[in-house]
Structure 1
């Protein structure tokens, strides 16, 4: 089962570990990843492009030029994932903080195991924005 992952970044240059992201995304072939730069004024967009170029997984990077809030950035990423891929589920991380990397690793490990647990998690998790979009943090809460 292919799953979309949407992560929103804004001025996160100091907390993005490019190498860790490259390694994480290289191990997860069942994912369609979309990284959204929400009008960062620092070097965040360049780091996201570097991740895109170096990772073995196909990653999309969207650059939102004008910050209209997190919800607008989320909707831009969802629109892209829904138009480019036929995905039953999209996991969304509205704002990235350094502690979220561990969350990403845990959720990605569950997705890779593909034991039916993921579908059950989606049934219990509150949807955000659209019918097939779920909070990445919310999925993790039900997993533990």
Structure 2
């Protein structure tokens, strides 16, 4: 099952490890990435285009011409992914927020590749447990929150192994 991830960039040139991302993305078989450039004034868009050229089958770019809110950038990426792919599971990452929290995009991508099935399972469980069906835009999940939840559950399960 495929999963889509929207990655929002705004002047994040220094936080992009191009070679690592290309290596990881080329290893993805069932993950579609949508890079949303939120009106960057540095070389972010050029780096994203270089990554897309090396990983054309798994990477799309949406260029937002005017700096907008995280929600507006997320919606732009979601609209694109909705129109291009038939995906049940779409998450997002805001690189600027990662940087503020001292996290790296490369570690999130690595964790996604290691925990893709768990991310899909968690999203499926959350969808099933909802009394009211969410709208498309409200169903987009924070990849960082899901990975944190999975890490917490894995740690708890390791401390309390089932008998």
TM-score normalised by L of structure 2:
0.77
Residue 138 (1) aligns with residue 121 (2): no
* Equivalence map 1:31-50=2 (5 Å): 31-50=31-50
C-alpha deviations, 1:27-62, integer Å up to 9, x for none?
Answer: 111011100100000010000000000126421011
Q: Could you tell me which residue of structure 2 aligns to residue 5 of structure 1? A: 5
Which sections of structure 1, spanning at least 5 residues, go unmatched?
A: none
* 1:11, distance to aligned residue in structure 2 (A): 0.3
Pairwise CA distance, 1:82:
0.7
Equivalence for 1:90: 90
Instruction: Show the counterpart of 1:76.
Output: 76
- State how far apart, in whole Å, the 1-side matches of 2:62 and 2:6 are: 10
Q: How many residues end up aligned between the 2 structures?
A: 139
Consecutive unaligned residues in structure 2, runs of 5 or more: 128-133, 152-163
Match of 1:103 in 2: 108
- The aligned counterpart of 1:53 is 53
Partners of 2:42 and 2:148 lie apart in 1 by 32
Q: SS of 2:71's equivalent?
A: helix
Deviations 1:67-102 (A, max 9, x none): 122211111000000111010110100234352321
Corresponding residue number in structure 1 for 2:122: 121
Q: TM-score, normalised by structure 1?
A: 0.87
Q: In proportion to residue count, which structure has more helix?
A: 2
Structure 1 position 128, deviation (Å): 9.9
Larger Rg: 2
d(CA) in 2 for partners of 1:118, 1:73: 22
